[in-house]
Structure 1
Amino acid sequence: MSIVSRRVILVNGSPKIKSNQSVSELFVNLQENSMKEAGIDVGRINVRDSITLGKTQEDYLEMSQADAIIFTFPLYIFCLPGILMRFLQDYQQFLMKQNLTIEKEQKIFAVVNCGFPEPDINEEAVRVIKSFSRQIGALFGFGVMIGGGGMFLGTIDAPFMKKTKAELYNAFDQMSEMIIKMELSPMENRFIKPNFPRKLYLFAADREWISAAKKNGLKKRDLYRRPYLK
């Protein structure tokens, strides 16, 4: 698409230890495919690994020098996972202590998925990333809000997901175009969800909670406990 070389850092903010159980990892893989096809130089950072392996300073420097950063993470209690919040706060402190400024017109994007079928529930999390972008002097591109995230791992290549998968790639391709052209104006957020009956999705989700409880030695009634209620 362009002879100009661009560098993008894909940041996986999922707290999950096993990457093959992380929906965010799946979305990062799709992003990497899209970016590389567009001729963009891609780097990847896993927030959990960065913190536990003591690589944050190295990773922060790499992020500060990138043309774009894409933060991909699951919705936790209607906002960012705590581990990602800490990572972002420490990154901002790193920039201040090192007296670093974002020299380029760096773009930041957010890709957020939630277990609810409604993608707009992710809006507050996207606003947090947009505010963070402004605070460090970067430009926010747009957010991709994904509903029903939990079912993507096992169904991404299913026939009924063909349209949804195409919408994801279209959003990631638009990110690539913005990064390559270094466009200054933000775009509208994207709202994506599987083409799947809502009632059936909620039924399957409820069964999954019950199954998870049994695996951990609990019963269905234990899911309704309110231990902090006096």
Structure 2
Amino acid sequence: MSLVIFNGSPRGTGSNSKLMADSFLKGFTAESSEESKVFYLIKKKDLELHKEEFKNAEKVIFIFPLYTDAMPGMVKEFFEEAEEYNSENKKIGFIVHSGFPEAIHSECLAEYLKRFAEIIKAEYTGTVIAGGSEALKFTDEKMQNKKLAPFYALGSRYASNSKFDSEITENLSKIRRFNGFILVILKICISLGIFNINWNKILKKNGSMDKRLAKPYKNI
């Protein structure tokens, strides 16, 4: 059998999706000799190749970030292309991650993804929801490896039965919604500007710090 992973992040090879997919594949290939491939949906010129690979693959995983409580446009576009195929013999799963630590943000999308699998008549192997992913690229190697370890384990377990391990999946989405005490701490951090430190670095790097509060369409 063959496994094909589609990376649906607009950041392509510079994405957190790639870090997670790489870790997943390391775990997968450590336990399986099956063929595996990775494709980037951001490469629009390869659309026909992507469609052909999707059509022929026996196992497919889409990994992408949560965008405005849904998915990147390129992922939705590809889903619409893929709806024309009858995928009765295909296993399909999804890994959705976001900067939000709480899993509740991605739950509606998970329901849609399950429905998409039903529409194309594929065997739905689950949706993994991983929160707090934006911090991955800002951490040192030791911390990054720690955060990616669950994805390695997920790939390792997937190699045995082509399904996402329920215990690992539940652990990755264990923070469904913050409780009262955590919310108080978060409000303090917001007031101190702690969450803006990395964003401000990016703004300064691009010479946009003074424009961060601009409202160009306010009076239209």
**TM superposition score category, shorter chain reference:** 0.7 to 0.9
Deviation at 1:74, TM superposition (A): 0.9
CA RMSD of superposed structures (Å):
3.1
Equivalent residue number for residue 119 of structure 1: 103
Equivalent residue number for residue 65 of structure 1: 56
1:55-134 to 2 correspondence within 5 Å?
A: 55-93=46-84, 95=85, 101-104=86-89, 106-134=90-118
Normalising to structure 1: TM-score of the pair? 0.76
Question: Does the CA-based 8 Å contact 2:23-2:149 persist in structure 1?
Answer: no
Structure 1 distance, partners of 2:174, 2:139, is 10
Structure 2 CA distance for partners of 1:194 and 1:159, relative to 1, 3 Å = farther
What is the aligned counterpart of 1:9 among 4, 7, 17? 4
**Residue identity opposite 1:57 in structure 2:** E
Unaligned runs of 5+ in 2: 176-181
Question: Does the CA-based 8 Å contact 2:62-2:95 persist in structure 1?
Answer: yes
What is the aligned counterpart of 1:172 among 134, 146, 155? 155
Deviation at 1:215, TM superposition (A): 2.3
**Residue identity opposite 1:89 in structure 2:** E
Normalising to structure 2: TM-score of the pair? 0.79
**Residue identity opposite 1:152 in structure 2:** L
**Residue identity opposite 1:123 in structure 2:** E
Structure 2 CA distance for partners of 1:216 and 1:28, relative to 1, 3 Å = same
Unaligned runs of 5+ in 1: 1-5, 96-100
Equivalent residue number for residue 172 of structure 2: 192
Summarize deviations over 1:122-154 as a string: whole Å, max 9, x none: 222222221211111102111211111112234
Identity in percent: 22
Structure 1 distance, partners of 2:59, 2:11, is 24
**Residue identity opposite 1:190 in structure 2:** E
How many equivalent residue pairs?
206
